[in-house]
Amino acid sequence: MPRKAKTLAVVAHSPAVIPASKRTLSFGAKWQYAPAPESVVVKPDARYELFIGGKFVKPKSGQYFSTLNPANEKQLSEIALAEQADVNAAVSAARRAYDNVWGKMSGRERGKYLFRIARIIQEKARELAVLESLDGGKPIKESRDFDLPQVAAHFFYHAGWADKLDYAFSGKMPRPVGVCAQIIPWNFPLLMAAWKIAPALACGNTIVLKPAETTSITAMHLARILQEAELPDGVVNIVTGAGETGRALVEHAGVDKIAFTGSTEVGKLIAKATAGTNKKLALELGGKAAHIIFDDAPLDQAVEGIIGGIFFNQGHVCCAGSRLFVQEGVYRTVIKKLRDRISTLRVGDPLDKNTDIGAINSRAQLDKIRSLVDAGVAEGGELLQPRCTLPERGYWFAPSVITGVTASHRIAQEEIFGPVLSVLTFRTPDEAVERANNTPYGLSAGVWTDKGSKIFKTISKLRAGVVWANTYNKFDPTSPFGGYKESGFGREGGIHGLASYVRLD
């Protein structure tokens, strides 16, 4: 990582990032931070193989693809490319493990493995966090303080369920579903793996997991942890590759259930491919979350929650609050506070402990963010960005607020998955709810007000799977997460999440 990136305190978008526009305002950072590099140094392996039947095996085609560090565009490792034959081998291994071992094992025994996995993850949390930040670009304070504790918490929580499933669904005897295909995205690589693997194992299923092609490294380190925990061979198999590998897995006749998190576009393809089959399906897709700030809200608290909810982790969050509805009376104050706060955000080296906004995960994602922001400006929005010198190499985007957005703008409708907040206004509570609901998505929302009664009235009308009030992006394994409308169906977490990994009929 060049030193320049570490010290980057933020401030001036490069003209290449955003087209010059009279409507663009720039303002500077207030101070510079000294670099505070992460002290744990981990070097990824030069090459990672597939994990099938409890062993690391070479892909049958002999092909590998590279995974980059998005902060400097340098190759980190080569990752095995799984094709149909490898997917077949992984599904067969999962079937054997289901029939011979895992499907028959008592919940009490399964729970012991899950507890063991959770404890080993805790022991190795720091090195896993470093690998996650290297491969995906997220700041170390996110991977270390949010992702990894949540990963361990998911295994602990579901370990506790394994021997209590008979009490979870009143009057019903839950049975495992069988072989689960799990396809996950790049924004929370290890956490999405944990969300999917832990409940599936607790319920007695076996798994073929496919990580995202830009962030496979931590999944392969998780495979080592599974070996260390002596999880029986074939209970979890991991195949790496891109969309084609995912498609082969989805279409495999030996799969009983598919759990997918990713884009709405691919979610729709998977829904079509599984229609008319006996496969159980859960989809967690995109979002276009709205924050509603009423004029009686604690404004500093609200602004802090909104900033965290869209800028930390580069906005690579399906429940990122990318639309902000502000009641007209406090509009000017809120904009001033947002503007002041974004000028203090630090963009740069993901492995610097001071960094708030790391690297955008891939060039494709950066291009998507740029094009949506360009469209927002072209459609009449006003772009507020701190002036920042972004590192020359790597994928970067300065934190951006776009005001003057209206509901018909693309930026208010399409998922952006980047550090960009669109601001809209409203007069009455009913108008706020109606406009917040005006999107094809329905994953999450945030409500900010001093009045408890207003919170309840508002959340009962919002069409979103999760609504946070006077806080944002708070997660717990006991709490179900999932969406309405084009954000998908099925829940993950809590007792509702378990329901999608059992048969009750």
Q: Can you give the binding site for ligand NAI, defined by CB under 6 A?
A: 183-187, 210, 212-213, 242-243, 246-247, 250, 261-263, 266, 269-270, 284-286, 318, 365, 368, 415, 417
CA atoms of 465 and 284, how far apart (whole Å):
11
CA atoms of 491 and 498, how far apart (whole Å):
8
CA atoms of 223 and 350, how far apart (whole Å):
24
Residue 256 contact, options ligand NAI, Mg ion, none, Cβ 5-8 Å cut-off depending on partner type: none
The CB-of-369 to ligand NAI minimum distance in angstroms stands at 8
The window from 111-119, 127-135, 233-241, 364-372 that contacts Mg ion (CB under 5 A) reads 127-135
The CB-of-492 to ligand NAI minimum distance in angstroms stands at 11
The CB-of-415 to ligand NAI minimum distance in angstroms stands at 4
Chain center to CA of 261: 8
Q: How many residues bind to Mg ion according to rule CB under 5 A? A: 4
Residue among 236 and 318 whose Cβ is closer to ligand NAI: 318
Q: Give me the catalytic one of 318, 414, 486, 492.
A: 318
What string marks each residue from 42 to 71 as x (binds Mg ion by CB under 5 A) or -?
-------------------------xx---
Q: Which residue has the tokens 């950072």?
A: 29
**318 an active-site residue?**
yes
Q: Which residue has the tokens 């997660």?
A: 475
How big is the chain, counted in residues?
505
Q: Give me the catalytic one of 132, 213, 284, 492.
A: 284
Residue among 176 and 465 whose Cβ is closer to ligand NAI: 465
- Per the CB < 8 A criterion, the answer to whether 477 and 494 are in contact is yes
CA atoms of 479 and 476, how far apart (whole Å):
6
What string marks each residue from 207 to 246 as x (binds Mg ion by CB under 5 A) or -?
-------x--------------------------------
In the DSSP assignment, the letter for residue 406 is -
Take residue 150 and report the two structure tokens written for it. Answer: 């949540």
The CB-of-243 to ligand NAI minimum distance in angstroms stands at 3
Residues with Cβ < 8 Å from 117, sequence gap 6 or more?
Answer: 155, 225, 226, 229, 231
The yes or no reply on residue 492 touching Mg ion (CB under 5 A) is no
Q: Which residue has the tokens 């998005």?
A: 70
Q: How far is CA 144 from CA 129, 130, 141, 337, in A?
A: 5, 8, 5, 28
**284 an active-site residue?**
yes
Active site (catalytic) residues? 284, 318
Residues binding Mg ion (CB under 5 A): 67-68, 135, 214
